[in-house]
Amino acid sequence: MSVQSDSEKRKQISVRGIVAVENVSEVKKAFNRHVHYTLVKDRNVATPRDYYFALAHTVRDHLVSRWIRTQQYYYEKDPKRVYYLSLEYYMGRSLQNTMINLGIQGTVDEALYQLGLDIEELEELEEDAGLGNGGLGRLAACFLDSMATLGLAAYGYGIRYEYGIFAQKIQNGEQQEEPDDWLRYGNPWEKARPEFMIPVNFYGRVVDTPQGKKWVDTQVVFAMPYDNPIPGYNNNVVNTLRLWSAKSPVDFNLRFFNSGDYIQAVLDRNVAENISRVLYPNDNFFEGKELRLRQEYFMCAATLQDIIRRYKASKFGSREAVRTTFESLPEKVAIQLNDTHPALAIPELLRILIDIEKVPYEEAWNLVVKCCAYTNHTVLPEALERWPCSMLENVLPRHMQLIYHINFLHLKEVEKRWPGDFDRLRRMSLIEEEGEKRVNMANLCVVGSHAVNGVAAIHSDILKATVFRDFYEMWPEKFQNKTNGITPRRWLLLCNPGLSDLISDKIGDEWTVHLDQLKGLKRWAKDPGFQRAVMKVKQENKLKLASLIERDTGVKINPASMFDVQVKRIHEYKRQLLNILHVITMYNRIKRDPTAPMAPRTVMIGGKAAPGYYIAKQIIALACAVGDTVNNDPDVGDKLKLIFLENYRVTLAERIMPAADLSEQISTAGTEASGTGNMKFMLNGALTIGTMDGANVEMAEEAGEHNLFIFGMRVNDVEALQKRGYNAYEYYERNPELRQCIEQIRSGFFSPNDPGKFSHVADVLLHHDRFLHLADFDEYIKAQDKVSAVYQDPAKWTEMVIENIASSGKFSSDRTIAQYAREIWGVEPTWEKLPAPHEVA
């Protein structure tokens, strides 16, 4: 089968409807200039990496003029600005995304082709910017793309981690972590801004002065900003992601110098700079380490000083500090907190207003609440941040005082509404008194924000009914839903050019910014010609992924088999174990009757486990061990394979999503806040097997439940079972197939050289399973049998695929951001283009 190359398809896509900014010869000239003058200089020969950097700089040249123009435009118009605060941004690569959003991909492709270079080979040299763990960090990246595409005056703020999420290596069937030295060769997209370096204070003590409280004897660390351009799609808008890097002050520990220990004083500068050294690799788990607290405050303190500076200085082209009062702060500033990680922005903004700007307390607090809004991302208790008061008192003594005062006034209001309800006071307090005194950061966020949102309808309802029930009773008007979304530029146009072409041929190409137009495809769902075209693209994508897997693992997979994929962080609540139990069940069925007809499957599981999460690492080891057994059994042959995909990351996801047939979204109902991988699979033509959890519920609403394979307990069933008492043995005894699977795991069938290796996994399933795997096993297997049956009816399967693609318009992050803008931030999105730099405004 001849597979049209990605670059041929990409040329067609990026040229359609978009005028190339510069012609091919000018791109060639710019590229050669960068090779000779910027990079190679006195060397005689250029390496492939030199060519990559020359290409990145050539593309960046097209960005910079638009970037400057956009920022000037904001400065002159002085709109309300949106500040998105996140400890994580899982950006992936920037080169191809930038070319697509600027509309120059076809031109650049052609220029490099004429120079005898393969653009795809150069793209492979770019490091992923892995400054996030999973969903929360990738969501932030999609939001940045949408905020720029919708013309919002928005700024992302975060930390420039020197080491991002670890690289995962599978050695002897187990996860090993390697540091992600992503800046090793430099980052062509960032621009250091030392002129905006900002001091951040830690430790010290608080003294009373006639002018008020003063925080003194602090240790200072400087925050150095690095700006990263965020281009909107085809609108000449380029916003900024500003990431802070920790720098030691020049005189750090110079007192050592006076005692002669100059070398030690210099070495100790590392201690300050460690703040931005490494991303904490936990997803949905709180680890109360002081360094993490310092990271969180470092980002908030630097960002808020920057926000206040810009608020004071930005007014219709005037260069003096034109604003000296703060009553208009909420008309000019919206701060969105991505989970509780930036919660210290609330007491920090309060501190700046009352201690430094001398705003009266009540006025200052009202300003804080009007500016701030909080997005909750999880209901898992182990993920909620609860900082020990003793640690806060040591690291941030003034903030601890302010939190106590906020709590005092807040509890007075609660007492006024519910006199004598002491249990409610305890539940609603920002300070948890049981055991070690702790600050509940989620409660702080709710009290200090004017809007609180969950990230899917079911999740927002659960928040109001459980975690924040008391707060919802007090302030029902604060609570909203904003169902997550994904950017269709990266997750369809960039990663699946073949499908993008097909869609544009049918409905035009406005869907890239108005994804709801995909519903226009519904009329072709039963059309045999369109079905064939959709399946041809899917087959091409499967062949590409199959060759990538064979290259990386040596395992040859059957590209005609169903690609059954579960890629996400490894966590008990996501139930990768349920998937593995199904694989073992299929294996046992083949062994019982090797001649029985079955739809061949390649099951792929991928994802990282937090380094300290023992059971998650065991799940990876079990997947690898089961894969070893299944993949090498001659009775099985091509019918079944289990592949563990090493080092799952954004760039690998861009290859997987277009090639998947079946998407596994099988978390216990009520545990996955939303999920966004589910949306990427749906948009790229995979069918979903899933529980009624997170955004799966809304996907089923949009496409119709008959177009997904929904199974398992609903939230109310889970609650009823937990109330009744879950006994795994009931299910174990009742189902012989299940019993066989667990006994094989327990007895060492998959680990003959170490028979006890997975006994703990079996023990968890039978005795300590918070996520009720066995209760959903029977329905899951039945749903999987239905999947197999439908897969063997290609017309029916493809009709469902097209219905899913056509129903995925709601799940664009453009829709999500438009809702945040109108309903939380008080700004209006625009689809108008800014003039290009070479046009007269």
Annotated active-site positions, please? 377, 568-569, 574, 676, 680
> Read out DSSP for 670-721?
TS-S--SHHHHHHHTTPEEEE-S-TTHHHHHHHH-GGGSEE-S--HHHHHHH
| Residue 760 near residue 615 (C-beta atoms within 8 A) | yes
3-state class (DSSP) for residue 423 = helix
Q: How far apart (Å, rounded) are the C-alpha atoms in residues 743 and 748?
A: 8
- For 613, phi and psi rounded to 5 degrees? -95, 90
Q: How far apart (Å, rounded) are the C-alpha atoms in residues 582 and 52?
A: 44
Beta strands per DSSP E along 607-667? 640-645, 662-665
SS (H, E, C) 765-822: HHHCCCCCHHHHHHHHHHHHHHHHHHHCCHHHHHHHHHHHHHCCHHHEHHHHHHHHHH
Signed CA dihedral, 692, 696, 700, 701: sign only: positive
Tokens found for residue 77: 């118009």
Cα distances (Å, whole numbers) of residue 194 to 21, 83, 191, 302: 31, 21, 10, 13
| Residue 38 near residue 31 (C-beta atoms within 8 A) | no
Sequence-distant (6+) residues with CB within 8 A of 151 are: 232, 235, 237, 829, 830, 831, 832, 834
Q: What H or E segment, with its residue span, contains residue 226?
A: strand 219-231
Residue 820: CB atoms within 10 A of its CB come to 28
CA proximity to 656, closest of 553, 542, 579: 542
CA proximity to 53, closest of 25, 67, 36, 34: 34
CA proximity to 333, closest of 362, 354, 353, 361: 353
| Residue 663 near residue 682 (C-beta atoms within 8 A) | yes
Residue 443: CB atoms within 10 A of its CB come to 25
> CA-based angle 228:220:163, to the nearest 5?
40
